[in-house]
Structure 1
Amino acid sequence: MTEAAHRTDAAGAHLLVDGSRSAALLDWADGRGMSAATALLAGGLARAVEEGRDEFVTGFLAVPQVATGAALDWLLWLWADAPSSMRARLTREEDVLAAEEVMAMHRHVRDGGRFAAAEWRAARRRFASAISSDASTQVVEAIAASMWDLSETPGAIADVAQSWINGMAMIDAIVASGWTVDDHQRFEETWAAFGIAHARQNRREPDEDDAAFAARQQRYMSENPIGLSESDFARNSAWSDERQRRMQHRAAELRAGLLTLVER
C-alpha cells in the first residue's frame, strides 16, 4: 500500500468511527467511488458497539472497490437472508405481504429504477395501514426507517441498522431475562416517575442545613417508597447485561453481512 493510500484509509477509519463529520465522510466515500448510503451504513455499524469495531473497519477498508448498491443489497439481505431476518419475525401472512411491497420498491431502485418522493410517502401510508397491530414493533420500525429515496436521504439506511440492533437486543433480552414487555415497561415507568419526583425533593430549601436536608430526604423516602422490589432491580440488571450481549451479537451479524456484500 502506498503512503497516500495508507493516509486515505486512516482518514476513512477515523471518519467511520467518529460520526460527527458526515460531510467529510461523504467526501471521502465519493473519492473511493462509494455511495453515501453505504458509507453511512458502515459508519453506523462501526459505532454500534465497541467490540469488534476495529476488525470491521479494517475489513471494510480492505475492499478495493465497494460494490455498487451495497447498501440496498444489505437491506434486502436483512429482510430475508440474515441469520435473524426481519421476515422471520413476522408471523402473519398479511404483514409479510405488506413488507414485501416495500422490499419490491427497494429491489426496483437497486436495479436502476427510481420513485418520486410522493411515491415513497404514499408507500409509507400504505404500509402503515396494511401492517397489523400485533406485528413485531422492531420489524415495523426498521422497515419504516428504510422507506426513503436513499440517493436523497442516504442516512436512512444507517437508521435501519441502529433501529434493528437496539430494538431486537431490547426485546430479546426481555424474553431471555424472564420478563414480559409489560413487566419491563412497568419497571421503566415506575423508576422514571420516582426519579422525577425525587429530583423535586432533592433541592435544598432556604437556610436548610445538612442535618435537616438529610432528615427530610429520609422522611420522603419512607413516605414514598419506590414501588419496585429487589427482585425487580435484579431482573433489570440481568436484562441490561443480556441486552448489551445481544447488541454485540446483532452488530457482529450485521457487520458480517455488509462485508460479504460489499465484496461482490
Structure 2
Amino acid sequence: MKLGFKLWSMVVLATMLCTAPVWSQEDASPASLYNDGVAALKGKEYDKALDLFTKALEKADPEEDKKIVSLAERNGAIAAYYAGRKARRADKIDESIELYNKGIEMNPDFYGNYSGKAMAMNTKGDDTAAMNAFIMGSQAAKKSKKEDKATDLMNKATIFVSKAYTSDDWDKTIEMGNAYLEHGESADVQFYIARALTKKNKLKEALEHANKAIELAEGGEEGRNYFAQAEIYEAMGNAAAAVAAYKKVPSGTYGQMAKYKIEQMAN
C-alpha cells in the first residue's frame, strides 16, 4: 500500500514538473513576460528574449498595455539585432535575415537591424538589397536624430555603387547610383555615374553628373571630378574646355593622365 502511494505521488510530481512551465507561460501577464524578456536580454540570451518579447506583444492589449507594447517593441528589436548577428556570424545567413526583418517589424526606427540586414545581404551577394538596407538604416538613424550614424550608413551604401563601377558594369553603376541619389547626395556617386555614362557615350547626361560632383566636392579625390569632366568635353569635341578642365587636375595619378591627354591633344 505504501509502495503504491509512493509511486502515485511520483507520477503526480512528474506531471506537475512537466506542466508547470506551460501553466506559467499561459497564465503570465504581458508585464511578466516583458520582465522575463528583459532578464534574458541582460543575460545575453537573445533568442529567448526575442521570444518572450514577442509573446508579451501577442498578449498585450494595445490600449490598456501601451507602455508594455512600446517597451517590448523597442527591446524586442534590440534582441532581434543581437540574435541576427549571432546567426550571421555562424553563417546562418537566411536565418539572420529573418531575425533582422523581425526586428525591423518591431521597431522600424532602430537602425541596427537595417545595418545587420545589409551585411547579410552583402554576404549573399545581393548588392542592391544591401545598398537599400543601408539607406533605410540611414533614414531610421536620421529620424532618431543620430546624424553621424545616418551619414556613416549612407557612406557605406556608396560602396556598392563603387563595386559596380570598378567591375566595369556600367548599367548597374548607373542603376544603383540613381537609386542612391533618390535618397541623398554624394559626390562619389555622381562621379561613378558620370564615368559610366561616358563609357556608354551618353555625354550630355554624363556632363550633368560630372558638374554636380564638382559642385559638391570641387575636384574630389586627386582631382578625379575635373578629369571626368575633361574627358566628357574631349569626347564632345570641345578641346578648349577639355584642356581647361585637365589643367585643373593636381599632380598624382589623375594628374599624370591629364598631362598626357593635354600633350596628345596638342599634337
Query: Same fold by TM (over 0.5)?
Result: no
Relative to the length of structure 1, the TM-score reads 0.27
Structure with larger Rg: 2
Question: Which one has the bigger helix percentage?
Answer: 2
